[in-house]
Amino acid sequence: MIIFPAIDLLGGKCVRLIQGDYAKETVYSEQPGATAEKWQSMGAKFLHVVDLDGAKAGTPKNLEAIKKILESVTIPIEVGGGIRTIDDAEKLLSMGVRQIILGSIAVEKIALVEEMIKRYGDRVVVGIDARDGFVAVHGWEKNSAVKVEDLAKKMTAVGVKTIIYTDISKDGMLSGINAEVYAELAKSSGAKVVASGGIRSLDDIVALKAKENDGVIGAIVGKSIYTGALDLSAAIKVAEG
């Protein structure tokens, strides 16, 4: 299982939000490159980067900060937030981003997701962000009428192999997770699932690790490693165990 330290970018700075609320922002670093370097030095094998400005605007906005991250580390990074055209995807992939994460267009433009899968294969993953079982879009500011399970099945039908599933109600809350939810989504959709939202302790990592055979292949850790509630090196050891 892979542990993905999260770097959320807002105005070029490394921040954390609570439940995706842009008004509840904590700045953890003004140097995303140095933050990326720190997580790599603690054993991270892959980084999860979100362009929060991009998610809101509908096109990537923090390209300079993403470039700094790429220059600072040798491990691969995945980037999500505002990727809604082939041009957006091309721009990031040509910079050296390993994987792009599609969010809103998975709900609104399934044909475009299919086109990107044909072009880029498993360099495309889909992020499904849910509030009360329904998918949220446009930087989590809008709720859709689409159910998580339905969207996940549609995504695997067009060739998506990996889904990042975020429980918005738990994001940034350090409230712990229900590992069964992620395992159920993996089983019902046939996709590999990366768990996100609320991971606070080694117990959560152990619980997710136990679901690896069900298709839970990774965990995104954010606030817990920034506050010190979770030791990243220890989490990686358990995940790789």
Secondary structure class of 192 (helix, strand, coil): strand
Which 3-state string (H, E, C) describes 89-101? HHHHHHHCCCEEE
CA angle 88, 92, 97 (to 5 degrees): 150
Instruction: Please indicate whether residue 167 is annotated as part of the active site.
Output: no
- Identify the helix (H) or strand (E) that includes residue 124: strand 124-131
Query: What are the phi and psi torsion angles at 235 (to 5°)?
Result: -60, -40
- Eight-class DSSP state of 142: E
Tell me which of 51, 88, 129, 167 is the catalytic residue: 129
Distance CA 11, CA 181 (A): 33
Three-class SS state of 7: strand
Rounded distance, CA 192 to CA 188, Å? 11
Residue 70: strand, helix, or coil:
helix
Q: At which residue do the structure tokens 């192999």 appear?
A: 161
Known catalytic membership, residue 150 = no
Question: Helix 86-95 and helix 63-72: axis angle, to 10°?
Answer: 30
Question: What is the spatial distance between Cα 235 and Cα 141, in angstroms, rounded to a whole number?
Answer: 31
Which backbone phi and psi does 96 adopt, to 5 degrees? 120, 5
Active-site residue list = 8, 129
